Amino acid sequence: MEWSDVKDGLKDWTTWAYCFALFPMLTMLYSFVVFLPTIIHDLGQWTATEVQAMTVPVYAVGAIVYITCARLSDLTQRRGYFIMGSIVSSMAGYGMLIAEKGSAVSYAGTFFVSIGIFVSAGISFAWVPTNNPRYGKRAISTGLHLTIGNSSGVASPFLFQGSFVPGYAASIGMLGFSLCLNVLLHLHFKRQNRLRNEGKFDYLLEGKTEEEIEAMGEKSPRFRFAT
C-alpha cells in the first residue's frame, strides 16, 4: 500500500461524506434493533413472549428486502438510488410511529423502518470499495467508513429518551442529514460519469501506458463510478 494512496483517501471529500452519511444510518440501526421490543410493547398490551414473536416478521421482511435490493444493486451498479429510497422508507416508518394512528399503523411503521435501515446501511458498505478501485485508497476509505460509522453505537442508546418523542423525531432528523449527504454523493458521481462519457478528461490519458492508466484507479477517464 502506497502512502500516497493513504493521503489521497484522507484528502478526498467523498471519503468523509461517506463516513458522516453512514453514522446516522448505523445510529438508527443499533437503536432500532435494541429498542424494537420496547417499541412494540408500547403499542399494546402483550406479554414478553408475544412481543418477541412480533419482532420476527419485522426482521424477516427487512432481511428479505435487503437481500433483494443488494442483488439488484450489484446487477445494475446503482447504489445511491437504493440507499436514498431506503432512507425515505425509514423516515416514513418513524413518521407512522410518531402519528400514533393505532397499533396496526404503528406496527406497520416498524416494517418500513426495518426495510430502510437494513438496506441503506448494507448497500453503503458496498458503495465505498466499489468507487475506490486502488487498493491503498480503498483500504483507508473503507477503514474510516467502518470506524466512524460503528462509533454511532455510542450515541444510539440516548435517542430513546422521553425528551425525544421517544426517539422518533431525532431519528427522522438524523436520517434527513444522511439523505442529504447521499444525494450529494449520488449527484457528484453522476456528473463525473457524464463528463467522462463526453471525453472531458481524455487528455489525462495522453502519453500513458496501459499499466499507468490502470494505476490511476478512479482518476482514470475510463473508470465509471457506481451511482
The answer to whether the CB of 90 falls within 8 A of the CB of 120 is yes
Could you give the dihedral angle defined by the CA atoms of residues 107, 108, 109 and 115, in that order, rounded to the nearest 10 degrees?
120
Instruction: Say whether pLDDT at 102 is over 60.
Output: yes
Q: How many residues does the chain have?
A: 227
pLDDT at 1 over 70: no
Please compute the mean of the pLDDT values over residues 157-170 and round it to a whole number: 63
Smallest CA-to-CA distance from 36 within 83, 100, 106 is with: 106
The CA distance from 13 to 192, in Å, is 14
Which class in CATH covers the domain with range 3-193?
A: mainly alpha
Reply yes or no on whether the pLDDT at 74 is more than 70: yes
Q: Is the pLDDT of residue 112 over 70?
A: yes
Residue type, 95: G
Q: How confident is the model at residue 162 (pLDDT cuts 50, 70, 90)?
A: low
For residue 7, give the C-alpha cell: 493521503
pLDDT at 161: 59
Q: pLDDT value at position 156?
A: 76
**Contact present, 138 and 4 (Cβ < 8 Å):** no
pLDDT band at 164 (very low <50, low <70, confident <90, very high): very low
pLDDT one-digit tens code per residue, 116-141: 999 999 999 999 999 999 989 999 99
* Separation of alpha carbons 158 and 153, rounded Å: 10
The structural domains of the chain, with segments of one domain joined by +, span 3-193
- Residues 141, 5 contacting (CB under 8 angstroms): no
Chain segment 76-99, per-residue pLDDT in tens:
999 999 999 999 999 999 999 888
Task: Identify which of 10, 6, 7, 29 has the alpha carbon closest to the alpha carbon of residue 18.
Answer: 10
